[in-house]
């Protein structure tokens, strides 16, 4: 009791002031540390440019404009046109093949095609439609994507296609079956055109490996396309694919969609089957890995998700009406200033503010701006949970073991030495991750666990069944090639929601002054995927959605010409 009474004495007041000074000093030290880290990164940038200068040709070259009108039609509308015989599947598939052949030498997104097989399948679709006697409605119900071309991330099993995940030791691996989500899309009538590039073993935010090379951003070829689903993001963003399949364990759908100006959705954890991918998740990772749709047009997200989720789609009530004027919206402009992460680009903060203004003006809602302190520990939470043992007590397969591709475990220090001599089959990003893993504990600290649980409770209570949170997709616009090596923790803006298991939709918001895509994440409570998906449809109309690369020179596509409306129903 004596300790309680002393709270009110002058001595305790002095102690309270000292604690305040200590907290201020800690915040000052964190800011100083952040500035020092950014200075070090800048010095690394300078050294990197001297040792490996960017190709001037990449900075000057542009993608040719989209000229075939079939390439600007959403997938669901393409399927309707094909069913109604307004266009043949062969014509649509050939249009996309022509576009891929036009742009892929520049962006290096599609790493293996199946064009001949796709044209044969398209011809079979046209024959099926000619012979169908049940009418268009029967075909729509049974085959909603009939005749529509699709691309697939190379880490997914697609029958007859490579499944190396950028690993040289797996270069001869060819899939004999389809991954379940791919099989469901094919069963719905979609026609795969081929597989797209990813980062080595899908654990880096740039799609670069020693088997297929580096994928480039269609908006600026000297920029990254993101990872690990960067090939999908690039091929779709360039207008050479309309829909695609991606996977996401730390933002691998949302970052490429953001960098390439398209839509992507990370579903609620456990809704879409993750089987048929390499590498397979282990430990607690199956809870965090999500498979989801990537597309150029928001209206394709819900139909794709319904197909990919199979029977579990019923858990999401995706056909239920959504009145956005009754949704509670929240805006968080940044993570609170972690010294490990880059500050959020002012253009992204401004774009998010414009979203808030449009929501308030059009929907007559009040968007509450918030600060969530636990987000500051996003990277630490993600890293700790990813390395934690599963329910069976088994720790995750080490990255060094995965790098071996079934062979002898890789020794990261030796690989680094080989890399310096140009002899390693692995990228420096993969080697770096294996090195970091050597010093990482499989048991998260109690403090980080407390932050994770606190954040989980706060967001679940905040969002409930009718809330949507706006949050930056990434702190930076699409970086130049290899620059993420110096800002490796920036993926935390997306990765934290994998750990929390929440559904997130990435939505494009036009282009920056440099001509690079802007965007925002839309986060909802578990199983409330329909809310961010409906919001994405609204924002597509409000801000113009996907913009053709180099759209500023090809003609105006400003959001000012987009319609305004008060609510939307799915």
Which of these is catalytic: 234, 238, 252, 387? 252
Q: What residue numbers bound the domain in which 254 lies?
A: 71-386+443-561
At 566 the pLDDT is 37
| Residue 277 DSSP SS3 | strand
Decide if 153 is catalytic: yes
Element (H, E) at 504: strand 504-511
- For residue 49, being part of any structural domain is answered with no
Stated pTM of the model: 0.89
The one catalytic residue in 81, 89, 153, 424 is: 153
In a domain, 569, yes or no: no
Do 525 and 464 meet the contact criterion of CB atoms below 8 Å apart?
yes
**DSSP class of 501:** T
CA torsion 335-338-342-345 (nearest 10°) is: 30
Structural domain contains residue 236: yes
What pLDDT, on the 0 to 100 scale, is given for residue 58?
Answer: 72
Based on the residue annotation, tell me whether 317 is a catalytic residue of this protein.
no
Amino acid 29: pLDDT = 57
Q: What's the length of the chain?
A: 570
Of the candidates 275, 252, 287, the one whose C-alpha atom is nearest the C-alpha of residue 385 is 287
CA separation, residue 178 to residues 158, 302, 310, 362, 487 (Å): 5, 22, 15, 44, 36
Has residue 555 been placed in a domain? yes
252 catalytic, yes or no?
A: yes
Q: For position 142, which CATH number holds?
A: 3.90.1300.10
DSSP 8-class letter at 398:
P
149 within domain boundaries: yes
Tokens of 3: 């300790």
Closest CA to 279 of 169, 198, 202: 202
Pairing of strands 263-266, 504-511: antiparallel
DSSP state of 249: S
Q: Per the domain annotation, does 171 fall within a domain?
A: yes
In a domain, 514, yes or no: yes
Give the alpha-carbon dihedral of 462, 467, 470, 473, to 10 degrees.
Answer: 90
Q: Starting at the edge strand that comes first in sequence, how are the strands of the sheet with 290-295 ordered? A: 110-113, 191-196, 149-153, 243-248, 290-295, 263-266, 504-511, 517-524, 467-471, 328-331, 368-369
- Output the pLDDT for position 34: 52
Residues 6+ apart with CB under 8 A from 203: 228, 250, 399, 429, 430, 433
Please enumerate in sequence order all residues whose Cβ is within 8 A of that of 186, keeping only pairs 6 or more positions apart, or say none: 178, 192
Count Cβ atoms within 10 A of the Cβ of residue 550 and give its class: 0-12 exposed, 13-18 middle, 19 or more buried. Answer: middle
Flag whether 396 is in a domain. no
Please report the pLDDT score of residue 28 as a whole number: 63
Query: Does the CA dihedral 163-203-347-375 come out positive or negative?
Result: positive
CA-based max dimension of the chain:
91
Task: From first to last of the 570 residues of the chain, give the pLDDT tens digit.
Answer: 444 334 444 444 444 444 456 555 655 655 555 555 555 444 444 444 444 444 456 767 999 999 999 999 999 999 999 999 999 999 999 999 999 999 999 999 999 999 999 999 999 999 999 998 778 888 999 999 999 999 999 999 999 999 999 999 999 999 999 999 999 999 999 999 999 999 999 999 999 999 999 999 999 999 999 999 999 999 999 999 999 999 999 999 999 999 999 999 999 999 999 999 999 999 999 999 999 999 999 999 999 999 999 999 999 999 999 999 999 999 999 999 999 999 999 999 999 999 999 999 999 999 999 999 999 999 999 999 999 999 888 999 999 999 999 888 999 999 999 999 999 999 999 999 999 998 877 678 999 999 999 999 999 999 999 999 999 999 999 999 999 999 999 999 999 999 999 999 999 999 999 999 999 999 999 999 999 999 999 999 999 999 999 755 444 333 333 333 333 443
- Cβ-based burial of 46 (10 A; exposed 0-12, middle 13-18, buried ≥19): exposed
Question: Three-state SS for 209?
Answer: strand
Q: Which of 155, 199, 207, 228 is catalytic?
A: 228
Provide the number of structural domains found in the chain. 1
Give the pLDDT of residue 137. Answer: 86
Across-strand partners of 191?
A: 149
pLDDT score, position 36: 53
Q: What is the DSSP string of 112-172?
A: EE-HHHHHHHHHHHHHHHHH--S-HHHHHHH-TTTT-EEEEETTB--TTSB--TT-GGGTT
């Amino acid at each position: 009791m004596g300790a309680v009474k002393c709270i009110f004495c002058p001595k305790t007041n002095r102690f309270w002031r000292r604690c305040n000074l200590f907290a201020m000093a800690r915040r000052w030290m964190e800011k100083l540390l952040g500035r020092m880290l950014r200075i070090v990164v800048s010095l690394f940038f300078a050294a990197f440019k001297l040792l490996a200068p960017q190709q001037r040709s990449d900075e000057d070259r542009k993608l040719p404009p989209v000229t075939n009108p079939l390439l600007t039609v959403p997938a669901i509308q393409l399927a309707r046109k094909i069913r109604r015989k307004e266009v043949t599947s062969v014509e649509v598939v050939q249009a996309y093949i022509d576009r891929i052949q036009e742009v892929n030498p520049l962006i290096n997104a599609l790493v293996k095609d199946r064009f001949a097989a796709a044209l044969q399948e398209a011809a079979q679709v046209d024959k099926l439609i000619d012979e169908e006697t049940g009418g268009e409605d029967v075909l729509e119900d049974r085959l909603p994507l009939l005749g529509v071309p699709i691309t697939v991330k190379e880490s997914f099993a697609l029958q007859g296609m490579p499944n190396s995940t950028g690993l040289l030791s797996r270069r001869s691996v060819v899939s004999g079956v389809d991954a379940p989500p791919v099989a469901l899309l094919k069963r719905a009538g979609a026609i795969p055109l081929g597989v797209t590039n990813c980062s080595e073993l899908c654990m880096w935010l740039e799609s670069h490996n020693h088997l297929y090379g580096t994928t480039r951003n269609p908006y600026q070829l000297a920029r990254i396309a993101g990872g690990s689903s960067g090939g999908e993001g690039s091929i779709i963003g360039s207008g050479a694919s309309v829909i695609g399949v991606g996977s996401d364990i730390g933002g691998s759908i949302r970052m490429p969609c953001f960098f390439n100006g398209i839509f992507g959705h990370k579903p609620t954890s456990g809704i879409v089957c993750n089987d048929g991918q390499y590498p397979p998740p282990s430990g607690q990772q199956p809870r965090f890995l999500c498979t989801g749709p990537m597309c150029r047009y928001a209206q394709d997200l819900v139909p794709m998700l319904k197909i990919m989720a199979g029977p579990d789609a019923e858990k999401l009530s995706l056909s239920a009406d959504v009145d956005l004027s009754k949704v509670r919206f929240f805006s968080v402009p940044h993570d609170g200033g972690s010294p490990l992460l880059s500050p959020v680009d002012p253009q992204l903060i401004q774009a998010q503010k414009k979203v808030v203004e449009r929501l308030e003006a059009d929907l007559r809602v009040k968007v509450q701006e918030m600060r969530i302190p636990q987000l500051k520990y996003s990277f630490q939470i993600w890293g700790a949970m990813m390395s934690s043992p599963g329910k069976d007590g088994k720790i995750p397969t080490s990255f060094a073991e995965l790098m071996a591709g079934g062979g002898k475990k890789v020794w990261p220090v030796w690989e680094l030495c080989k890399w310096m001599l140009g002899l390693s089959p692995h990228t420096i990003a993969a080697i770096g991750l294996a090195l970091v893993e050597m010093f990482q504990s499989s048991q998260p600290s109690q403090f980080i666990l407390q932050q994770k649980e606190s954040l989980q409770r706060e967001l679940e209570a905040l969002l409930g069944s009718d809330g949507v949170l706006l949050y930056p997709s990434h702190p930076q616009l699409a970086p130049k090639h290899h620059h993420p090596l110096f800002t490796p923790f920036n993926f935390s803006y997306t990765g934290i929601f994998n750990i929390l298991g929440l559904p997130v939709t990435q939505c494009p918001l036009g282009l920056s002054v440099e001509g690079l895509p802007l965007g925002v994440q839309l986060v909802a409570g578990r199983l409330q995927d329909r809310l961010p998906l409906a919001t994405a449809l609204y924002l597509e109309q409000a801000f113009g959605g996907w913009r053709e690369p180099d759209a500023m020179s090809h003609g105006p596509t400003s959001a000012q010409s987009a319609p305004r409306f008060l609510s939307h129903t799915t």
